[in-house]
Structure 1
Amino acid sequence: MAHIRSHLMAALAVAGILATAPAFAQSSACQEGQKILQERQSLIQQINKLSAGKKKQVDPRAACTVFSKLVVNGNAGQKWMTDNKDWCQIPDQVVEGFSKDHKRSQEIKGQACGAAAKMAEMEKRAKQQAQQAQQGGGLGGKMGGGLTGTLSVPKGAL
């Protein structure tokens, strides 16, 4: 999670650099970029809240949701930077840093969403098994009891 924070802090630095660019207030296109970066800052704060003060792991489902939004924002940010780099006087290193941050966000999104999908599948299986056990299905009955806790022992002399 420390890697995420370092990349996200780089994005915040990008937002700070872009906010101080002289041509930023001169164009509505530049103001559009500011909105994209403000949204990005908000998403980064949400990510930081997911892991703040917790010693346990971050919930992959929540991380998947926020990182999905961050990736969509990054796509818009990259397009905006490409289209308005010269007009809004965005330095090359800012564009490169944003691109690296966006790529890392995509990777983390893939990991988080993959873990969330596995969790959902495991929960689904556990629920199905619990339903089967309640209905007397599964390994119970004639197979020696299984998860029901019963075991048939033959009566009489062996």
Structure 2
Amino acid sequence: MMHIRSHLLSAFAVAGLFMSADAVDSAARAQASSCADGQKIIAERRSLGEQFQKLSNGGKDKKLDPRAACGLFTKLAANGDAGVKWMTENKDWCQIPDKVFEDFTTEHKRIQTVKGQACQAAAKMAEMEKRAKQQAQQAQQGGLAGKMGGGLTGTLSIPKGAL
């Protein structure tokens, strides 16, 4: 009876080792997939950078359409949020150098600032277009045109006689 019991105990011990080895292996696989998640974030960031290059004509154009820039910088900022979070959680496991993390974080802050500026310019642009449309509608209805003696036609009546 003792003999059977010792065989059972050793069988359970071996099974326990295999189960703990599987747990370690699955944890390692989970961490490896986590490192792969970081590669996906970086690949998406590269793609967004290529879109920016196309938008700015390879950096030759100094002026960008604020509406397009706002959308692109919003995506870059979201990608940066995900990247900073991922790097914070996996920096040690995925062996991310401190310098890479610092540079990424600094770049992310700069992108957030530029995003705010681009989106603010896009909002101003939309407001100006809205006002211009309203003024054009008023001019068609005789609002400004009647009050200014001819509107924006380029004619202005000058009084005749002694001044």
TM-score, scaled to structure 2:
0.72
Q: Structure 2 counterpart of 1:45, which letter?
A: E
Q: Structure 2 counterpart of 1:41, which letter?
A: R
Q: Which residue of 1 aligns with 2:134?
A: 128
Q: Which residue of 1 aligns with 2:49?
A: 44
**Closer, same or farther in 2 for the Cα pair 1:131/1:142, shift >3 Å?**
closer
Asked if 2 retains the 8 angstrom alpha-carbon contact of 1:61 and 1:116, the reply is: yes
Q: Within 2, Cα distance between the matches of 1:141 and 1:98?
A: 59
Please list the CA deviations of residues 18-75 of structure 1 after superposition, one character each: whole Å capped at 9, or x if unmatched.
xxxxx9x961100111111100000011111111255461111111100000000000
1:148 to partner: Cα distance: 5.5
Q: Which residue of 2 aligns with 1:13?
A: none
Q: Within 2, Cα distance between the matches of 1:26 and 1:76?
A: 17
**Closer, same or farther in 2 for the Cα pair 1:29/1:125, shift >3 Å?**
same
Match of 1:65 among 60, 67, 71: 71
Matched residue count: 132
**Highest relative contact order (Cα 8 Å, sep 6+), 1 or 2?**
1
Runs of 5+ unmatched residues, structure 1: 1-22
Asked if 1 retains the 8 angstrom alpha-carbon contact of 2:31 and 2:93, the reply is: no
3-state SS, counterpart of residue 109 of structure 1: helix
Asked if 2 retains the 8 angstrom alpha-carbon contact of 1:133 and 1:148, the reply is: no
**Closer, same or farther in 2 for the Cα pair 1:30/1:149, shift >3 Å?**
same
Runs of 5+ unmatched residues, structure 2: 1-27
1:104 to partner: Cα distance: 0.7
Q: Which residue of 1 aligns with 2:85?
A: 79
Q: Does 1:147 align with 2:144?
A: no
TM-score, scaled to structure 1:
0.74
